[in-house]
Structures are given as C-alpha cells and as structure tokens.
C-alpha cells in the first residue's frame, strides 16, 4: 500500500501509486519533443601551454595528483608547504584555545561566588 499526506489533516492516508509518487498534486511533465538547441557553438579545448589562453586555464589535476600521491610520509593536508602549514597550525591553535576557554568557563560556572 502507498501513502501520502492528507491535504487537510496533514496525516498519512492511503493512496494509489500515481498520487503517492506525485505529492501535493504535482504531476511529472514529460516532453515528447526534444528542446531546441539554444547555443550551438563548438567546445574549446585548453592548449598545453603554461598560462591562460583564450580565457581557458590549463588542467592542473595531473600535477596535483603527482604531488599528493608521492610516498614521502607527509600527511595530505601538509603537502603544499607554507600555506598549508600556516593554516594547519592556526586551526590547531584555535582548537586548543577554544578547549581551554571552555574548561575555564565550566570552572567558573561550577564554582560558587564568594560573599563578603
């Protein structure tokens, strides 16, 4: 048995296959004709040069794959040298600082105030 949400009570009620697969009255629109081609321009392929040519950028994925898959016992998040190390160390410092701040806040919340 198939179910759908009732329109008035918003509870599950029994339903047939078309109603269950078309919630809230939406019906799938199937076009018989293929749509007309709007832009029929040839695809440009990036040349093998070092810089941008014609607004396209060279694919750097193979070079990065060689860099990241090199077996040099360095974690992946540190393989691109200075910026990665700086970002990693900043993240670790903020994490440790946040943990210390949470512990201090918990200590202050659990210790009673002294009355004078």
- Give the model confidence (pLDDT) of 39-57 as tens digits: 666 666 655 555 555 667 7
- Give the model confidence (pLDDT) of 56-84 as tens digits: 778 888 888 888 888 888 888 888 888 88
Q: Return the pLDDT at 44.
A: 66
Distance between CA atoms of residues 28 and 18, nearest Å:
10
Kindly state whether residue 110 falls inside one of the protein's structural domains: yes
Kindly state whether residue 11 falls inside one of the protein's structural domains: yes
Structural domain count of the chain: 2
Q: Return the pLDDT at 70.
A: 86
Kindly state whether residue 99 falls inside one of the protein's structural domains: yes
The pTM score is 0.42
Q: Return the pLDDT at 27.
A: 59
Kindly state whether residue 74 falls inside one of the protein's structural domains: no
Kindly state whether residue 106 falls inside one of the protein's structural domains: yes
Give me the domain span that covers residue 21. Answer: 1-27
Kindly state whether residue 6 falls inside one of the protein's structural domains: yes
Residue 26 has pLDDT above 80, yes or no: no
User: Rounded to 10 degrees, what is the CA torsion of 60, 62, 68, 70?
Assistant: -140
């Amino acid at each position: 048995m198939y179910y759908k949400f009732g329109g008035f009570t918003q509870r599950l009620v029994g339903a047939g296959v078309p109603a269950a697969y078309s919630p809230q009255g939406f019906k799938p629109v199937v076009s018989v004709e293929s749509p007309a081609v709007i832009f029929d321009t040839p695809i440009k392929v990036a040349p093998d040069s070092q810089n941008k040519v014609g607004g396209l950028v060279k694919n750097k994925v193979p070079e990065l794959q060689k860099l990241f898959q090199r077996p040099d016992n360095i974690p992946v998040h540190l393989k691109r040298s200075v910026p990665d190390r700086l970002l990693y160390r900043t993240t670790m410092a903020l994490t440790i600082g946040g943990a210390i701040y949470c512990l201090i806040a918990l200590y202050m919340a659990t210790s009673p105030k002294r009355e004078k």
